[in-house]
């Protein structure tokens, strides 16, 4: 059996006395969609920032494709094949949608014969090709979310970290994103998804990792996790993050 | 290669027009081309990569002093001085950029560091007798090609135009390459840039190095045109402010807006100087201020933005 694509081992991140992430470990294999869920303040985003290199872990190691990437800067991780999106969309506002995606194509500094054509192909994949010439700041929120995905996809990642790409969207728009994400996975890219939209994460994820108060409290198949009493108590029981 | 072709045609056109100008017109031509080149070089770092410098005189001055000192002391031709100037300017830009950007300082901090470094250079040069101190260095008039002195103003028109063409060609080359997207991404959003595999610190250092090298190219041409340099004229704050004002007025985000700013503001300054005949020194700074406020109110994207918008409207 192949070693997992991503191995998170005992990762902790403390801010002063606060243990935002506390000894979290999990694996992710090459063609998997893993959902990372938990109540607000559980440490999901901090863990995410740690895996993508924007925050250094206080303790623990992260291994990608068999190599230790702990503490590596984000641009190097992107070049190794870890793409990410931001919870609050961060497009290059004053340039066109196409230029945003071309920046993603050429960003990792690898050979490309035709960056523009490659960017257009990515835009088609997320159904944003009709907006290629628009300025990024003029996009609607659902379009901006898709641009965020397109740009990360353009770096040709092997693992894509998606931070709440469905937040603030209508059910129909969420359905669109789910189709896109399933298509991305079918194209051979593993996904780690932080999401509050339960309906989407339950149906998309192969496995779930549940966090609360910085710790991993459960891991497993969505149905099994949903039935786990500790998860129900920490998260689903309170129902304040019900399906959008 | 279409934009490069346009650039080539524009340069040929200007070269053809220069002999038709009066002597005074040729003087303005030289000044516009040199100031335009400084502003365009400034814009690579300040506009394209979004890192505002308040000290670009440092590069122009370094270029002017290096080439002049080499010529006066060692008899090195200013043609070689040009290469030395670019090397020094690039090295200074890279060092300055590395010192600031690797500490994750940007924006106001970078602007202040550039201002401080240019001022330091001014005071250091003012106190080094070998560089003429505060009195400056005079270059003996010796009109020959090897000394980079031309018998007529027309020669300097071509020299200044050549510098402007080099700066413009580099800008076009950057714009069409990966580096153009690196600068764009850094300017627009550094976190996103990093997430896309862009080394943000390296990108900024490269921008500072290119910008510094190109600005430094102007120094030797200016020195040999005026045959005199002193710390105030080539290292002073006014020159740094000029580069910034031309870029703002011309259009910060655009590739060639800063040149447009120089085309409008340099002749205006010269005109005012002539009209006031030495009275009211510094009045051009007041005029700059008023123009800057007007442009920011009426055309936030600068004259270039205004031009592009009006052309788009005409097409409809």
Name every chain A residue with its beta carbon within 8 A of the beta carbon of B192.
86, 90-92, 151
For chain B, the residues whose C-beta falls within 8 A of a C-beta of chain A are 178, 181-182, 184-185, 188-189, 191-200, 253
Torsions phi, psi of B287, nearest 5?
Answer: -60, -40
* Nearest Cα residue to A96 out of A145, A129, A142, A141: A129
pLDDT of residue A244: 39
**Closest among B111, B89, B88 to B100, alpha carbons compared:** B111
Q: Residue A220 is encoded by which pair of tokens? A: 């497993």
Instruction: Report the share of chain B in percent with pLDDT over 70.
Output: 97
Q: How far is CA B309 from CA A133, B279, B316, in A?
A: 16, 39, 11
Strands (DSSP E) found in chain B: 137-138, 228-229
pLDDT of residue B146: 85
DSSP state of A61: E
B181-190, B217-226, B305-314: the lowest-pLDDT one? B305-314
The answer to the question of residue A206 being in a domain is yes
Q: B192 and A95 in contact by Cβ < 8 A?
A: no
Mean of the pLDDT values across residues B65-86?
95
**Residue A174 sits in a domain of what CATH number?**
3.40.50.300
Evaluate whether residue A86 is within a structural domain: yes
- In this prediction, residue B165 has a pLDDT band, given cuts at 50, 70 and 90, of very high
Beta bridge partners of A211: A216
The band of B127, judged by pLDDT with boundaries at 50, 70 and 90, is: very high
Instruction: Check A78 against B197: CB less than 8 A apart.
Output: yes
Question: Does A54 sit within 8 Å of B192, measured CB to CB?
Answer: no
Residue B281 confidence (pLDDT) above 80: no
CA A69, CA A50: separation in Å to the nearest integer?
10
Pairing label, strands A6-15, A18-28: antiparallel
Domain presence at residue A34 = yes
Name every residue whose Cβ is closer than 8 Å to that of residue B26 and which is 6 or more positions away in sequence.
Answer: B18, B153, B154, B156, B157
Arithmetic mean of pLDDT over chain B: 92
| Residue A243 pLDDT exceeds 50 | no
Residues 6+ apart with CB under 8 A from A193: A33, A34, A35, A36, A162, A165, A181, A201, A204, A205
Q: Do B195 and A83 touch (CB under 8 A)?
A: yes
Question: How would residue B35 be classed by pLDDT, with cut points 50, 70 and 90?
Answer: very high
CB-CB neighbors (< 8 A) of B253 in chain A: 94
User: How do strand A190-194 and strand A33-37 relate by DSSP bridges?
Assistant: parallel
Please indicate whether, in this complex, the C-beta atoms of A86 and B253 are within 8 angstroms of each other. no
Asked, for residue A120, whether it belongs to a domain, the answer is no
B244-262 mean pLDDT = 91
Cβ contacts of B178 on chain A, cutoff 8 Å: 106, 109
Nearest C-alpha neighbor of B66 from the set B33, B35, B92: B92
Nearest Cβ partner for A106 among B178, B189, B199: B178
Bridge pairing between strands A215-220 and A190-194: unpaired
Å from B67 to nearest chain A CA? 37
Total CB pairs under 8 A between chain A and B? 75
3-class SS shares of chain B: helix, strand, coil, % to 5 = 80, 0, 20
pLDDT band with cut points at 50, 70 and 90 for residue B63: very high
Where is B87: in which H helix or E strand? helix B78-101
pTM tops 0.90: yes
The per-residue pLDDT for A242 is 47
* B239, B35 contact by CB (below 8 A): no
**Greatest CA separation for chain A:** 53
Question: Is A130 part of any domain?
Answer: no
Q: Taking 60 as the threshold, does the pLDDT of residue A231 lie above it?
A: yes
Residue B253 has, within 13 A of its CA and on its CB side, a CA count of 14
Please report whether residue A115 resides in a domain: no
Taking CA–CA distances from A83, the nearest residue in chain B reads B195
Phi, psi of B267 (to 5 degrees): -60, -35
Q: Does A151 contact chain B (CB < 8 Å)?
A: yes
CA B122/CA B226 separation, integer angstroms: 19
Judge whether A92 is closer than 8 Å to chain B, CB to CB.
yes
Q: Which residue range(s) make up the domain with A33?
A: 6-91+157-238
pLDDT tens-digit readout, A17-59: 889 999 999 999 988 999 999 988 889 999 999 999 999 999 9
Binned at pLDDT 50, 70 and 90, residue A211 comes out as very high
Q: Does residue A178 belong to any structural domain of this protein? A: yes
Beta-carbon contacts of residue A101 (< 8 Å; ≥ 6 apart)? A119, A122, A123, A147, A150, A151, A154
C-alpha distances in Å from residue A177, one per residue of A126, A171, B284: 8, 10, 57
A120-146, pLDDT tens digit by residue?
A: 999 999 999 999 999 999 999 999 999
Binary contact (A155, B196; C-beta < 8 A) = yes
B90, burial (CB in 10 Å: exposed 0-12, middle 13-18, buried 19+): buried
Cα(A73)–Cα(A69) distance, integer angstroms: 9
B48: pLDDT strictly greater than 60: yes
Of the residues B188, B196, B254, the best mutation for testing chain A's interface (the one with the most A CB atoms within 10 Å of its CB) is B196
Instruction: For residue A30, tell me if it sits in a domain.
Output: yes
Mutation target among A97, A100, A103 for the B interface, most CBs of B within 10 A: A103
- Interface touch B194/A151, C-beta < 8 Å: no
* Cβ within 8 Å, pair B185-A155: no
- Rounded Cα gap, residues A8 and A23, in angstroms: 9
Q: In which band, very low, low, confident or very high, does the pLDDT at A227 lie, cut at 50, 70 and 90?
A: confident
Domain count, chain A: 1
8 Å CB contact of B194 and A152:
no
What would the mean pLDDT of A9-15 be, rounded to a whole number?
94
* Interface contact flag, A151 B192, Cβ < 8 Å: yes
Mean pLDDT of chain A: 91
**Which of A85, A106, A110 best probes binding to B when mutated, by most B CB atoms within 10 angstroms?**
A106
Given a contact cutoff of 8 angstroms between Cβ atoms, the answer to whether A112 and A106 are in contact is yes
pLDDT at site B277: 63
Q: What is the pLDDT of residues A96-119, one digit of tens each?
A: 999 999 999 999 988 778 999 999
Question: Is the CB of B196 less than 8 angstroms away from the CB of A78?
Answer: yes
Task: Give dist(CA A169, CA A7) in Å, integer.
Answer: 31
Q: Rounded to a whole number, what is the distance in Å from the CA of A19 to chain B's nearest CA?
A: 24
B304 and B257 Cβ atoms separated by less than 8 Å: yes
Question: Phi/psi class of residue A214: alpha, beta or left (left: φ > 0; alpha: ψ in -120 to 50)?
Answer: left
**pLDDT at residue B150, as a whole number:** 87
């Amino acid at each position: 059996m192949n070693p997992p694509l991503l191995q998170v081992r005992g990762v902790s991140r403390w801010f002063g006395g606060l243990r935002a992430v506390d000894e979290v470990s999990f694996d992710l294999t090459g063609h998997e969609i893993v959902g990372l869920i938990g109540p607000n303040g559980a440490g999901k985003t901090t863990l995410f920032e740690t895996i993508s290199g924007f925050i250094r872990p206080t303790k623990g190691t992260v291994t990608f494709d068999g190599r230790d990437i702990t503490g590596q800067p984000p641009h190097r991780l992107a070049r190794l094949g870890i793409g990410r999106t931001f919870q609050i969309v961060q497009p290059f506002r004053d340039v066109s949608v196409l230029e945003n995606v071309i920046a993603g194509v050429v960003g990792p500094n690898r050979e490309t014969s035709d960056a523009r054509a490659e960017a257009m192909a990515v835009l088609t994949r997320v159904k944003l090709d009709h907006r290629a010439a628009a300025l990024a700041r003029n996009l609607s929120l659902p379009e901006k979310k898709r641009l965020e995905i397109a740009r990360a996809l353009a770096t040709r990642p092997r693992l894509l970290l998606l931070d709440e790409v469905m937040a603030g969207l209508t059910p129909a728009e969420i359905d669109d994103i789910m189709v896109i994400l399933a298509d991305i996975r079918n194209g051979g890219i593993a996904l780690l998804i932080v999401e509050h939209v339960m309906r989407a994460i339950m149906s998309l994820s192969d496995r779930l990792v549940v966090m609360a108060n910085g710790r991993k409290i459960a891991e497993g198949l969505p149905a099994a996790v949903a039935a786990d009493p500790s998860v129900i108590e920490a998260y689903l029981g309170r129902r304040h993050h019900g399906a959008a | 290669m279409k934009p490069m072709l346009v650039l080539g045609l524009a340069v040929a056109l200007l070269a053809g027009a220069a002999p038709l100008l009066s002597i005074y017109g040729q003087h303005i031509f030289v000044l516009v081309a040199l100031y335009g080149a400084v502003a365009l070089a400034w814009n690579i770092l300040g506009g394209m990569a979004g890192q505002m410098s308040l000290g670009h005189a440092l590069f122009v001055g370094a270029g002017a002093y290096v080439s002049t000192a080499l010529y006066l002391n060692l008899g090195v031709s200013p043609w070689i001085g040009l290469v030395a100037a670019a090397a020094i300017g690039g090295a200074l830009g890279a060092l300055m950029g590395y010192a600031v950007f690797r500490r994750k300082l940007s924006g106001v901090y970078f602007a202040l560091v550039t201002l401080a470094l240019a001022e330091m250079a001014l005071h250091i040069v003012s106190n080094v007798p070998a560089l003429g101190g505060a009195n400056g260095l005079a270059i003996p008039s010796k009109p020959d090609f090897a000394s980079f002195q031309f018998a007529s103003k027309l020669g300097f028109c071509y020299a200044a135009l050549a510098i402007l063409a080099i700066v413009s060609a580099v800008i076009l080359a950057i714009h069409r390459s990966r580096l153009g997207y690196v600068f764009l991404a850094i300017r627009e959003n550094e976190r996103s840039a990093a997430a896309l595999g862009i080394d943000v610190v390296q990108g900024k250092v490269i921008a500072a190095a290119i910008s510094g090298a190109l600005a430094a190219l102007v120094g030797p041409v200016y020195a040999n045109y005026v045959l005199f340099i002193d710390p105030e004229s080539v290292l002073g704050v006014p020159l740094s402010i000029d580069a910034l004002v031309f870029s703002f007025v011309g259009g910060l985000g655009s590739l060639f807006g800063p040149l447009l700013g120089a085309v409008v503001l340099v002749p205006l300054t010269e005109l005012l100087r002539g009209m006031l005949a030495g009275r009211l020194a510094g009045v051009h700074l007041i005029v700059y201020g008023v123009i800057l406020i007007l442009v920011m109110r009426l055309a936030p994207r600068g004259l270039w933005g205004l031009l592009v918008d009006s052309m788009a409207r005409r097409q409809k």
